[in-house]
Amino acid sequence: MENYDINETADDFTFDEDDYLAEMRQEYVKEHKNYYIDICAGIETGDIETAARLAHTIKSSAAMIYEPALSEISAILEKLLMQGDIPDANTLKSFGDEFNKVLNNIGEVEQIVINEEDKLGIDESINLLNKVKPLVAEQSLECMDMLETLRRIPGSEEFCEKIRSYEFDEAVEELEKLLNSLA
C-alpha cells in the first residue's frame, strides 16, 4: 500500500484526462464487445427487456467515451424496444455497423489465432459449411454459437467476420467463395 502525505492537497495530484479517456475506451471494448450479439439474441428470443437494457447501457456509456453517433443510434434502438417494437433490419444494421466501427476504432476486440493443428481438414470444413449454409441464409443467430468452430476452417476469416458483424448477405457470398476454394 502506498503512503500518502496527509498534507497533500488536490493541487498536488496530477490527472491526465487523455490517459483516463483511453483507459475508459479500452474498458468499454472489454465490457461491451458482446452486447450487439446479446441484443440481437434478446430480440430473436423475445427477451425485449434485456435487449432494451443493453441498448440503454450502450447509449449511456457511448456518450461517456465521446461516441455521439453510437449513442444516438442506441437511443433510437432503446426507444423502439421500450415501446415493445421490434427494430427493422436497417435499424439493427445501422446500430451494428456503428457499434463495430467504434469497437474497431478503439482497438482490436480480440484477435483469435488458430493453431495449424486445430484447423479442420477439407472434408470436415465442407461438411460444416454445408451445415451452416441454411442458417446463414436465414440470418439465424445460431451462427454466432458456431463461430468458434467456423474459425477453424482454413481461410474462413472474412466469412467469420461477416457473421460476427451481422452482414449475412455478404456472409452468404463469402461462404460460397470458401466452399469453392475448398472444392
List, in order of start, the domains of the chain with CATH numbers: 16-106 (1.20.120), 116-182 (no CATH)
CA pair distance 35, 78, nearest whole angstrom: 13
pLDDT at 6 over 70: no
Closest CA to 36 of 135, 163, 157: 163
pLDDT confidence of residue 104: 80
Burial class (CB in 10 A: 0-12, 13-18, 19+), 40: buried
Q: What is the pLDDT of residue 69?
A: 92
Q: Which residue has the higher pLDDT, 108 or 143?
A: 143
pLDDT at 123 over 70: yes
Integer angstrom CA distances of residue 170 from 23, 37, 178: 34, 18, 12
What pLDDT band is residue 140 in, cutting at 50, 70 and 90? confident
Q: What is the pLDDT of residue 23?
A: 76
Alpha-carbon dihedral sign for residues 110, 116, 119, 122: positive
Q: Give the integer Cα–Cα distance in Å for 162 and 96.
A: 11
Q: Is the pLDDT assigned to residue 10 strictly greater than 90?
A: no
Instruction: Determine contact, residues 153/129, Cβ cutoff 8 Å.
Output: yes
| C-alpha span between 164 and 40 (Å, rounded) | 12
94-107 pLDDT per residue, tens: 998 898 888 888 86
2 near 13, Cβ under 8 Å?
no
Asked if pLDDT for residue 81 goes beyond 70, the answer is yes
DSSP, res 136: H
Name the band, by pLDDT with cuts 50, 70 and 90, for residue 4.
Answer: very low
- Residues 42, 87: contact at Cβ < 8 Å? no
pLDDT band at 1 (very low <50, low <70, confident <90, very high): very low
Q: Which residues of 38-136 form beta strands (DSSP E)?
A: none
For the cut 70, the answer to whether the pLDDT of residue 2 exceeds it is no
Cβ contact 54:38 at 8 Å:
yes
Dihedral sign for Cα atoms in the order 78, 39, 42, 31: negative
Q: Model confidence over 31-55: pLDDT tens digits?
A: 888 888 889 888 888 999 999 999 9
Using pLDDT thresholds of 50, 70 and 90, give the confidence band for residue 8. Answer: low
Q: Is the pLDDT of residue 76 over 90?
A: yes
